[in-house]
A and B are shown apart, each in its own frame.
Chain A
Amino acid sequence: MTSWRNQATPVAAIVIVLIAWELLARANASPNMLLPPITAVLADIWANLEILLRGVRRTLTETLLGLVFGAAFGFVAGAVFAQVRIFEKMFFPLFVVSQTVPVIAFGALVVMWFGNGIMSKVVIAFYLTFFPVTVNTHRGLLSVDQQRVDLLRAFGASSWKIFWSLRLPAALPSIMASLLLGVSLSLIGAIVGEWFGDTVGLGILLVQAMYAEDMVRLWSIIVFCGLLGTGLYGIVAWFARRYVWWGTEY
């Protein structure tokens, strides 16, 4: 009973908000429709499903590629920084500086370097993703309990064995936390990347709808951006809960 209620309460809240939205939108109905009724948005989605799904496919591809490259690079960089102090001293400050420049400032440059195709979006998504993964990998690997390291050393373990059997698993919860952040950032990177020019993708659809002042279409695209973000986040969160269930404290 209680668990049923716990689940029902947020759903009820959403339904109430949606109904209020619909009523408010109908009461203020105007040609501009600053806030279009939900029913209109749903109708628009249904009518343009093919275009929207094509946009989702493209943006999803960019997001995933950006995430995979960003996570892989971020992990390797974090691991190298944790194991080799001299690299940490030399390059970590550069990583921090790179993140102080807003990615938008690089946008035009990236398009000129990597062309108008998918690559430039992947690069921007990558640029936003790798840093949190680097930081959390680095911190996770180093914050491992020294007594556990000593125990394995006392058994005669090499630092390689200690890395694989202790440091990495101990760091996984914080690495997974950075991936959850990364998945949202990668999606932002992909959408923003498309604004610098392309023909397909949710970001492009957004820009087109904006210039056409098509308020209903704008909301249709926002719905899909939301679904994409929630879906990706949900998958990573599920994976983390299922396979990396131990916390950072034990």
Chain B
Amino acid sequence: MAGSALDRVETDKPYEALAVTGKAEASAGSPIIELAQLTKTFDSSGQKVVAIEGVDLAVRPGEFVTLVGPSGCGKSTLFNIVSGLLDADTGGKIHFKGEERQGKELLGTVSFMPQRDLLLPWRRVIDNAVIALEVEGMRRKEAREKAQVMFQEFGLAGFERHYPHQLSGGMRQRVALMRTFLFERDLMLLDEPFGALDALTRVMMQRWLLGIWQRHRRSILFITHDVDEAIFLGDRVVVMTARPGRIKLSREIDLPRPRDPHVTTTPEFLAIKADLMEAIEEESMKSFMSQDERG
């Protein structure tokens, strides 16, 4: 934890340069995080359930990796392990910036955004946004000043002193994202952040997130079960298998950036989608069938 301030100084600047030159350079360099043979077994009332099995995955600096898979494929389990909330089974390894880390050692090293916004109803929007900074020990006043400049960019200007219940779903999600961005870590984990939004708002949020990411250039690992979303956002789409979750395939998306929404109707996009859909449908079928058996 003590090194976190230093890390930031080292890493923030190079990414700005990357933002200009684009993806090729972003792919260079050693991975921010590297997962090797991660397995997690849950023991529920004597029955062993393997949530994920032998997961290998690396995220390079500045890379936007999207992770798709059928529901119940252990995506969230994977996130909980990477964020330090869960211990993986022994045998798997996690390297964060080249250093091996496990379990609790990862707490506070990645910026984590769960599916639900999880805003605290008693805190004003600005105080919700700075909670991670507060945890780091920053003074409330200083943290608020730091957050204040981001409100415009996040489309929340004028709502600083509102309470969460006064905001729409899309705005609450942006507050949650702002909270995640303010916790300045080189790797951000976003777990279906737009899953609960209506289709139109979701498209707006995706474009907006790309804009933000292109300016800030953090590495992002993004869970979704929407294939369009995965292709539109990602430098690389990783498909997971039905339980137990394994990496089925990993595919580079070489659509040019910046991407605008029309890219989703181009032949290139549709070709990629057809490929991925085939893999995903196969897996969805498997998880559907196994649910059927259980039912």
Residues of A within 8 A of B (CB): 145, 147-148, 150-157, 161, 165-166, 169, 172, 246, 250
In Å, the complex CA distance between A153 and B112 comes to 10
Minimum CB–CB distance for A153 against chain B, Å? 6
Of the A-B pairs whose beta carbons lie under 8 Å apart in the complex, a sample of 23, sorted by A's number, is A145-B118, A147-B118, A148-B120, A150-B85, A151-B112, A153-B84, A154-B83, A154-B108, A155-B112, A155-B131, A155-B135, A155-B136, A156-B108, A156-B135, A156-B136, A157-B135, A161-B134, A165-B120, A166-B120, A169-B122, A172-B122, A246-B122, A250-B121
**Residue B244 CB within 8 A of the other chain:** no
**Residue B232 CB within 8 A of the other chain:** no
In Å, the complex CA distance between A148 and B123 comes to 14
> Is B107 a contact partner of A148 (Cβ separation < 8 A)?
no
In Å, the complex CA distance between A145 and B120 comes to 11
> Is B118 a contact partner of A151 (Cβ separation < 8 A)?
yes
**Residue B238 CB within 8 A of the other chain:** no
In Å, the complex CA distance between A147 and B165 comes to 18
Chain B residues near A246 (CB-CB < 8 A): 121-122, 165
> Is A154 a contact partner of B134 (Cβ separation < 8 A)?
no
Say whether chain A's binding surface is mostly helix, strand, loop, or mixed: helix
Minimum CB–CB distance for A146 against chain B, Å? 10
**Interface size bracket, B side:** 20 to 34
Residues of B within 8 A of A (CB): 1, 80, 83-85, 107-108, 110, 112, 114, 116, 118, 120-122, 131-132, 134-136, 165, 183
> Is A151 a contact partner of B114 (Cβ separation < 8 A)?
yes
In Å, the complex CA distance between A145 and B108 comes to 20
> Is B114 a contact partner of A156 (Cβ separation < 8 A)?
no
The 4 lowest CB-CB distance pairs between A and B, nearest first, are A156-B108, A154-B112, A246-B121, A155-B132
Chain B residues near A150 (CB-CB < 8 A): 80, 85, 114
From A151, A166, A169, residue with most partner B Cβ within 10 Å: A151
> Is B85 a contact partner of A153 (Cβ separation < 8 A)?
yes
Chain B residues near A152 (CB-CB < 8 A): 131, 135
Chain A residues near B122 (CB-CB < 8 A): 169, 172, 246
Task: List 19 additional A-B contacts (Cβ < 8 Å) besides A147-B116, A155-B136.
Answer: A145-B118, A148-B120, A151-B112, A152-B131, A153-B84, A154-B83, A154-B108, A154-B110, A155-B131, A156-B107, A156-B108, A156-B136, A161-B134, A165-B120, A165-B134, A169-B122, A246-B122, A246-B165, A250-B121
Chain B residues near A165 (CB-CB < 8 A): 120, 131, 134
Chain B residues near A157 (CB-CB < 8 A): 135
Minimum CB–CB distance for A25 against chain B, Å? 50
In Å, the complex CA distance between A187 and B85 comes to 47
Chain A residues near B85 (CB-CB < 8 A): 150, 153-154
Instruction: Contacts A161-B135, A169-B120, A250-B121 given; indicate if A155 touches B114 (C-beta within 8 A).
Output: no
Instruction: Contacts A145-B118, A246-B122 given; indicate if A156 touches B131 (C-beta within 8 A).
Output: no
In Å, the complex CA distance between A62 and B99 comes to 63
